[in-house]
Structure 1
């Protein structure tokens, strides 16, 4: 697979494909790990060994890429957490305002009932209500 290139070039190009999200072998969006880079480079899983000095730069690059890959996820998680807190606060405010509205409606109902009771006792109709005709006019 090296075709006269350096022995690590396949690994670095595989790492670049994983970072850009254009992997050809592993699933897109796969977490960047030593094994994912190995498989994407067309090598066996576990072929990148920490004990081999030749892989030191590659392992550092993989760790750095993995850290960069996890940053957006952490930022998204923090943003999601903030939005959930905001939703929770808005729901509490909505519940409080609905309770206040129900209380005011009850208070208004009681005031109207009391007003009706007070005015009904003191107000005398000026006109007497007409009685319906008994049919003598027709």
Structure 2
């Protein structure tokens, strides 16, 4: 098989991988073309154009994944949720302190009230 036919098979394999949205690499193109891993070599002048096309396709694929990837948007949502959680926990701690203070005040007033009732029941001499 002539090198030109092999390179054409590699280009056809590259187009199939792009159409299916599969990960693109030199080895992936070689396997898709029915060749073995490592059969696309930089040392072969006939493969120079093919390797450049594979590199461009890999770059485009990575850029597309970054553009489509929702993770950056989710990261800002996670940060916002963490901030709101911290605010909620701060409010809860403040309310617990207030509850503790109010219970202490109720206990103090209950004790004062009890003392006043006991004072009324004790006969005056």
Which structure: greater helix fraction? Answer: 2
Counterpart CA distance in 2 for 1:101 and 1:44 is 63
2:78 to 43, 63, 87: 87
1:98 to 2:97 alignment: no
Q: Calculate the TM-score normalised by the size of structure 2.
A: 0.63
TM score, norm. by length of structure 1: 0.58
- TM-superposed CA distance for 1:95, in Å, is 3.1
Please give the root-mean-square deviation of Cα atoms over the aligned residues, in Å: 3.2
CA distance in 1, matches of 2:99, 2:105: 10
Identify unmatched segments of 5+ residues in structure 1.
23-28, 125-138
1:46 pairs with 2:45? no
Give the secondary structure class of the aligned counterpart of 2:54: helix
Q: 2: CA distance between counterparts of 1:44 and 1:114?
A: 82
